[in-house]
Amino acid sequence: MTTMSTIDWGTGSYERVAPQLLPAAHAAIAAADPQPGQRVVDVGCGTGNAALLAAQRPGVRVTGVDPARRLLDLARAKAAEQGHDVTFVSGDAANMPLPDGCADVVLSVFAVIFAPDAAASAAELARITAPDGKIVLTAWLPEGAGVEAMRVIIGEVGRITGQASSAMPFQWHERDQVQELFGTYGFDVAVHQHELAFTAESPEDYWDLSYADHPLVLSVQPLLVEHGVMDEVRDRVIEVFRAANEDPAAFRLTWRYVVISAQR
């Protein structure tokens, strides 16, 4: 069975989705507020949304970490194009090739929330954070059409395999749970709610843009195709989008998420 740990985030065209998440990266940077001379590590940096925003801050040194080498190559190209000196290295949230206490600010925008082992990832984030450092994460609230769409997909996989699964195995949106996770390492956690709107020409277009070529969907697509339910799943997801559409003339869907700040 496919799990979050077996997903290759470099497959498909995640770079088509990443620009839609840029407002959340701005929110994370605003919460982190990196200052001149500080060191920032963006965990699960993908194509570089948050890392490149941090690099715009004067005197800030930035490192991006991601397991997907193809996305790292895209991030490097964007950094070069924008004239930013950012270091990008391969690694995942539970195993980063970085020294202890190397970051004054650790960021993770909709990345560590997909880690299969939340405790191991929290320990690793804490390890690289300086004694007076800060960790800033973003996490989706488990509600709304976007999450329901993922439940349709993951639920069908569970029905086929007979094994329950979850795209986000830890409740990162819950302040008390995150406090318990990071409190062991001397962090105090605050959570603030935000909204992010996704737009497209139609519900079908939104599927094509954000889901059809998404690494998570591609990871389970062979199984769904093998069992003859891929088209049915697509239709069910599009119907979820259609029922929740906020713009009758096109398509708009608002997702709610939280910015989690953990300060030592």
Domain boundaries, the chain: 4-263
Question: How many angstroms separate the CA atoms of 54 and 40, rounded?
Answer: 7
Partners of 87 in beta bridges? 63
| Structure-token pair, residue 91 | 């690694």
- Report the b/e string of 21-58 with b at 16+ CB within 10 A: beebbebbbebbebeeebbbbbbbbbbbbbbbbbbebe
Residue 164 has pLDDT above 80, yes or no: no
Q: Indicate the pLDDT class of residue 167, thresholds 50, 70 and 90.
A: low
Neighbours of 71 (CB within 10 A): 23
User: What percent of the chain has a predicted confidence (pLDDT) above 70?
Assistant: 95
What residues contact 211, with CB distance under 8 A and at least 6 apart? 149, 217, 237
- pLDDT tens-digit series, residues 70-114: 999 999 999 999 999 999 999 999 999 999 999 999 999 999 999
> Is domain 4-263 given the CATH code 3.50.50.60 in the classification?
no
Candidates 137, 131, 158; CA nearest to 93 is: 137
**Cα three-residue angle 45-42-47, rounded to 5 degrees:** 20
* Residue in this structure with the two tokens 């959340």, named with its chain if needed: 24
| Structure-token pair, residue 122 | 């929290």
Residue 169 has pLDDT above 90, yes or no: no
For the ranges 135-144, 156-165, 205-214, the lowest mean pLDDT is seen at: 156-165
Residue 1 has pLDDT above 80, yes or no: no
Q: How many residues does the chain have?
A: 264
The beta-carbon contacts of 156-162 under 8 Å, at least 24 apart in sequence, are 156/224, 156/229, 156/233, 157/1, 157/2, 157/220, 157/223, 157/224, 160/223, 160/224, 160/227, 160/229, 161/1, 161/223
Question: How many angstroms separate the CA atoms of 238 and 234, rounded?
Answer: 6
Question: How many angstroms separate the CA atoms of 236 and 254, rounded?
Answer: 19
Mean pLDDT of 125-151: 95
Q: What are phi and psi of 203, to 5 degrees?
A: -60, -40
